[in-house]
Amino acid sequence: MHKVIYDTDPGVDDAMALLFLHRHPDIDLIGITTVFGNASIETTTRNALFLKREWNIPAPVAKGANATIDPSRREIGWPTHVHGEDGLGNIDVPETIDLPLDPCPAYRFIIDTVRANPGEVTLVAVGRMTNLALALREDPEIAGLVKAVVIMGGNFYVHGNVSPVAEANIHGDPEAADIVMTAPWKVAVIGLDVTAVTTMSRSYLGEMAARGDEAVRLLDALSQDYIDFYKHAVEDGMMVHDSCACVYLVAPELFTTMTGPVRVVCGGIADGQTILKPDGRRFPPGEWDGRPSQIVCTGIESEKVIGLIRETLLRV
């Protein structure tokens, strides 16, 4: 059984991944931590509480960061054209949800939960890496106490989605991402190389909604505008970025990988670019030296991944 803390900025594809974590039989979702990104921290936290309520998810929700780890970075605004004004596809999420938040901020929730379950907790992070970086800064020893870290973010041998070289979650807080990539823990990086080719069509999701329960019907409803947004890149469908990270956790055999230290460019025209130095390749001394080797996904069996998402979401 995988004990998971889900660090998320819901977010349409975050919502699908949340339902996957909640319904997968080998996953014990023990906490949800929120971060700014697809919308403000107030909105992503409200959305996490909304989905917790609608889907009867027992895990507590802890509110996380509302700004980059480097306070001198300026926020560039929310991607409302992707995830909607409400962050969940313009379905009119209620202004407030009458559920309590965990009393701790996200980084503290992560530290305390990891320390209470040494060697057992996997962090699945699918937004900006700010909460994880804050947790490491506050308590660096947690790197040795976490079982694994799986992130959705970055791009290695394909172009980015917010700049020619950068992906949104990394670009949104590059300094935090570099802290996470270079910490002495095992990170599996699920980036655009694999998520941008893993798409679900509107009709496939609609058929799932017809067979499934209210939870899947809500997911179908909140995904419609997101599918509209993707018409430039996907034939009447959407990229299921964040779910790919959750699938990696339970079915890593569906991915091909490379290993090596990863660094994140901080500043300049390549701000937020993720760069792997493959293990075994020799280069002159450089910024990757002495950093831990991480796992970078470069290939995926997309159809099987989509099938596993379907099967999991239709479990009740």
Note whether 171 binds ligand BDR by CB under 6 A. no
Query: Residues 24, 202, 241, 263: which binds ligand BDR (CB under 6 A)?
Result: 241
C-beta of 108 vs 273, nearer to ligand BDR: 273
* Residue 187 CB, nearest approach to ligand BDR (Å): 16
Which amino acid, residue 292? P
Known catalytic membership, residue 241: yes
Q: Considering beta carbons, is residue 14 or 102 the nearer one to ligand BDR?
A: 14
Binding to ligand BDR by residue 13, rule CB under 6 A? yes
Q: How far is CA 35 from CA 63, 71, 133, 306, in A?
A: 7, 15, 12, 26
* Nearest CA-CA partner of 217 in 97, 313, 312, 306: 313
* Site for ligand BDR contains 193 (CB under 6 A): no
CA dist 213 to 152, 179, 198, 277, 313, Å? 27, 40, 24, 45, 9
Point out which span in 7-15, 59-67, 251-259, 307-315 binds ligand BDR (CB under 6 A): 7-15
Is residue 223 close enough to count as binding ligand BDR by CB under 6 A?
no
Closest to ligand BDR by CB, 111 vs 166, is 166
Could you say which residues in the range 18-57 bind ligand BDR, by CB under 6 A? 38
Q: Which of 22, 24, 171, 241 is catalytic?
A: 241
Q: Does 135 bind ligand BDR (CB under 6 A)?
A: no
Q: Of the candidates 60, 84, 127, 212, which one interacts with Ca ion according to CB under 5 A?
A: 127
φ, ψ dihedrals at 286, nearest 5°: -160, -175
Task: Single out the segment in contact with Ca ion by CB under 5 A; choices: 196-204, 234-242, 245-253, 307-315.
Answer: 234-242
Question: At closest approach, how far in Å is the CB of 100 from ligand BDR?
Answer: 25
CA 198 to chain CA centroid, nearest Å: 15
Residue recorded with tokens 């394909």: 158
By a kind-dependent CB cut-off of 5 to 8 A, residue 161 interacts, out of ligand BDR, Ca ion, none, with ligand BDR
Strands (E), the chain: 2-8, 27-34, 61-62, 121-125, 148-152, 187-190, 199-201, 237-239, 255-260, 262-264, 274-276, 294-300
Residue 122: C-alpha distances to residues 64, 212, 309 (Å): 18, 28, 19
Pairing of strands 187-190, 237-239: unpaired
The 63-92 site mask, x for binding ligand BDR (CB under 6 A), equals -------------------x----------
**Residue 162 to residues 38, 145, 153, 266, Cα–Cα distance (Å):** 13, 33, 12, 15
Binding residues vs ligand BDR (CB under 6 A): 11, 13-14, 38, 82, 126-127, 152, 161, 167-169, 241-242
